[in-house]
Amino acid sequence: MSAPVLIALHYQNDVLHPEGKIRVGLGADDLVRAALLDAAGRLLAGARTKGWPIIHVRVAFRPDYADLIQNAPILRAVASLGAVREGSWGAEFYSALVPKVSRQEFVVTHNRINAFYGSPLESLVRQFNPSHLLIAGVATHSVVESTVRHAVDCGFEVTVAADACASADSGTHTASLASMALIARISHVEAALEDFA
């Protein structure tokens, strides 16, 4: 297979850090959190070693949330928690998963559930003319699944690195992966890195 574009979704402080405002159910001493961080780190390191384009996607809103359309419970929760405000520590990337300064790494900010919607993500991806996208992030059932579905509708083949994804509970994570298996390849970091060798 030709080289994919890696899309890393929401590896941000408010989502991953024990003191973050969202945390998707991942506690500081949670083994799932440690495994997720390890897998995400290996995924980014592997993509860098292979020279693949990496697009780090972050969600962020104006401090007054004037750009947050609160038409869904998850979006209303963001505002009530005071999460991922532009310029805040919570909106920054988690320290172990920060983008590198490189011609192969890019950052896209979005403010809807689907990372493609209303953002420059699709035009940036198309600059690399890939046939395949490798997608991972948090939360599996939210930004990951909606972004995967959009990518497939755009004509891309998609692989999901499941161990570099998480949801607030394992049942939701597993159900989302099962749902996406109808439209994408569900894999793990090591296998995904080997598939595109």
Number of independent structural domains in the chain? 1
Q: Which residues constitute the domain of residue 29? A: 5-195
pLDDT tens figures, 144-154: 999 999 999 99
Closest CA to 68 of 187, 184, 59: 59
List pLDDT tens digits, range 128-143.
999 999 999 999 999 9
Which distant-in-sequence residues (6+ apart) come within 8 Å of 38 by Cβ?
Answer: none
Percent of the chain, pLDDT > 90? 89
Section 34-50 average pLDDT: 97
Q: What is the CATH number of the domain that holds 172?
A: 3.40.50.850
Q: What tens digit of pLDDT does each residue of 95-125 get?
A: 999 999 999 999 999 999 999 999 999 999 9
| Mean of per-residue pLDDT scores for the chain | 95
| % pLDDT > 70, the chain | 97
